[in-house]
Amino acid sequence: MAKNAKQILSLQFMLKQEVKNLYRQLFRAIKEVPDKSYQLELKEWTRTEFRQNAQHTDEIVIKMYLQYGKRSLRQLENSVGLAK
C-alpha cells in the first residue's frame, strides 16, 4: 500500500474515533440533564443527527459536523451547569 493511502486510512480512522468519542461525550452530558423527558428528546435528536450524517465521506464535511457537534456539546454542558 502506498504511503499516501496509509495516511488517508489513518486520517479516516482518526476521524471515526473522534466521531465516536463525541457521540459518547454527548450521551454522558445528556445523562446530567435533570428532566427525564428532555433527556429522551436529546437522545433521540443525537441519534437522528448521527444517523443522518453517517454516510458522509468527505473529510471537510465530517470535520464541519464535528465542530457543530462540539458546539452543541458545549451548549448542553453550559445549560446543564446552569440548571444545577
Distance, CA of 74 to CA of 80 (rounded, Å): 10
pTM confidence score: 0.87
Cell matching residue 50:
448521527
Q: Are 30 and 42 in contact (CB under 8 A)?
A: yes
pLDDT (0 to 100) of residue 3: 64
Q: What share of the chain is helix, strand, coil (3-state, %, to 5)?
A: 85, 0, 15
Q: What is the per-residue pLDDT across 25-71, written as a single tens digit (0 to 9) for each?
A: 999 999 999 999 999 999 999 999 999 999 999 999 999 999 999 99
Q: Is 4 or 77 the better-scoring residue by pLDDT? A: 77
CB atoms under 10 Å from CB of 61, counted, come to 11
